[in-house]
Amino acid sequence: MTRPPPRDASRDLYRRPKSRPAAPPQSTAKPTPADPDTAAKVVTSLANPVVKELRALHLKKERAESGLFLAEGLKLVTDALEESWPIRTLVHASRVKDQPLVKRAVATARARGALVLEVSDEVLTKICRRDNPQMVVAAFEQRLRRLADLTTPTGVWVALEGIKDPGNLGTVVRTVDSVGASGVILLGDVTDPFALEAVRATMGSLFHVPLIAATLDEFAAWKRARGIPVWGTHLRGAVDYRSVDWPETCVLMMGNEQSGLSDAHVEVCDGIVKIPMAGKADSLNLAVATAVMLYEIRRARLTV
C-alpha cells in the first residue's frame, strides 16, 4: 500500500495567508500558598452542604426554586464570567489550582462575591454526576428575558415552538451565535434551557445569546405591535426557502420535534417555507433545519 506524501503545512488551504501571532508565553511562576487570589476553602467531604446544593442543580425543580444552574468546564465558566453573568459558586479540582486561567477565574469569581471551593476529584465526580468530570464547575444565576423588554428588535430572531430536546435547544443557541443572529424566543412549554445537557450543547453560546420566554399570545401581540415579519418552516410549505428575499430583521419560527409547527403558530406567520427533501427521510432534525435556514437568511452577511 502506498502511503500518502507527508502533509506540507505551508500549503494548508485552511490556513489564513498570514500566520497567527505566537501565543504569549505562559507564566511559570509558582503561586505562593498564601496567595490571597487563589487561596480557597478545601472540601473533600461528599456530605458538604454546598456540594449537595450544587449536585441538586441537576434537578429541574431545584433549578426553578433556586434560579441557579451549573456550567461545567473552564471554557464555559470563563465565557460566563467575561459576559458578567452573576456567579454564586465556583468549584475547581485541587490539581488545577495553579493553572493561570483557573487562577484568573477564581480571582474574578471571588471579586464578584462568589464562594470558591477547592475540591477532590471524588467531590467533582459527585457534583457533575459523571466519571471524568470537568475540573472547573460553577453555579450562575439564570437569565431569561421577556418580550416586553424587546422594544426595537433588530436582526434575526429564532422562535421555537415547544422544543423538547435539550441537546437540540443548545445546538440552536450555538448556531444562532455562529451566524450572528440576535436571539432565541422560547414559545410555550419548552425544555429547560438551563438543564446541564442544554448548557453543554451551547458550548458557551448560552452566555452570548439572549433567551426570551413567551406564550404564543404574547408573541402574537408583540409581533403586531413591532411589525416584525415572521416566517415559519413546515413540511407542508409550498415556498422554497431559497427563493425568499430575506429581510435584515425577521423572526424564523421552528416547530416542535414530534408534531411540527401547530396551526395556531402557523396563523401568526406571514409566510411558510420548506427545505426541499430529496430522499426517504420525512424531515430534518430541528436543529439541523434551523441551521440550514439561518445560513440562508444570513448568507449575504456572512464572510469567511
Distance from the Cα of residue 239 to its chain's centroid:
31
Which amino acid appears at position 65 of this protein?
E
For residues 34 and 238, which CB has a smaller minimum distance to ligand SAM in the complex? 238
Closest distance to ligand SAM from the beta carbon of 173 (Å): 16
The dihedral over CA atoms of 148, 152, 158, 163, expressed in degrees to the nearest 10, equals: 0
Binding mask 262-291 for ligand SAM (x = CB under 6 A): ------------xx-x-----xx-x--x--
Q: Which of 182, 156, 186, 165 is nearest to 293 (CA)?
A: 156
Q: Which residue's CB is nearer to ligand SAM, number 101 or number 284?
A: 284
Identify each DSSP E strand in the chain by its residue range: 41-43, 68-72, 87-93, 115-119, 136-141, 156-161, 183-187, 211-214, 230-233, 239-240, 250-254, 271-274
How near is the Cβ of 260 to ligand SAM at its closest, in Å? 2
> Which x/- pattern, by CB under 6 A, does the window 246-265 give for ligand SAM?
--------xx-x--xx----
Calpha distance 255→242 (Å, rounded): 19
Nearer to ligand SAM, 142 or 285 (CB): 285
For ligand SAM, the closer of residues 216 and 235 by Cβ is 235
Nearer to ligand SAM, 249 or 285 (CB): 285
Q: Is 55 exposed, middle or buried (0-12, 13-18, 19+ CB in 10 A)?
A: middle
CA 225 to chain centre: 29
The amino acid sitting at 166 is P
CB of 220 to ligand SAM, least distance (A): 18
81/293 with CB nearer ligand SAM: 293
Instruction: Write the CB contacts of 35 (distance below 8 Å, at least 6 apart in sequence).
Output: 103
Rounded to an integer, what distance in angstroms lies between the CA atom of residue 72 and that of residue 194? Answer: 12
Candidates 134, 191, 205, 233; binder of ligand SAM (CB under 6 A) is 233
Q: Smallest distance from the beta carbon of 169 to ligand SAM, in angstroms? A: 12
Q: How far apart are CA 113 and CA 238, in angstroms?
A: 55
Q: Based on CB atoms, which residue is closest to ligand SAM, 149 or 282? A: 282
CB of 252 to ligand SAM, least distance (A): 9
> Residue count at the site for ligand SAM (CB under 6 A)?
16
Stated length of the chain: 304
Residue 164 engages ligand SAM in binding (rule: CB under 6 A) = no
Closest Cα partner for 251 from 181, 190, 175?
181
Q: How far is the CB of 248 from ligand SAM (least distance, A)?
A: 22
| Contact call for residue 244 and ligand SAM (CB under 6 A) | no
Residue 235 within binding range of ligand SAM, rule CB under 6 A: yes
Of residues 148 and 277, the one with the C-beta less far from ligand SAM? 277
Distance of closest approach, residue 292 Cβ to ligand SAM, in angstroms: 8
Report the nearest approach of ligand SAM to the CB of residue 160 (Å): 9
Cα 128 from chain centroid (whole Å): 18
**Which residues would be at the binding site for ligand SAM (CB under 6 A)?**
233-235, 237, 254-255, 257, 260-261, 274-275, 277, 283-284, 286, 289
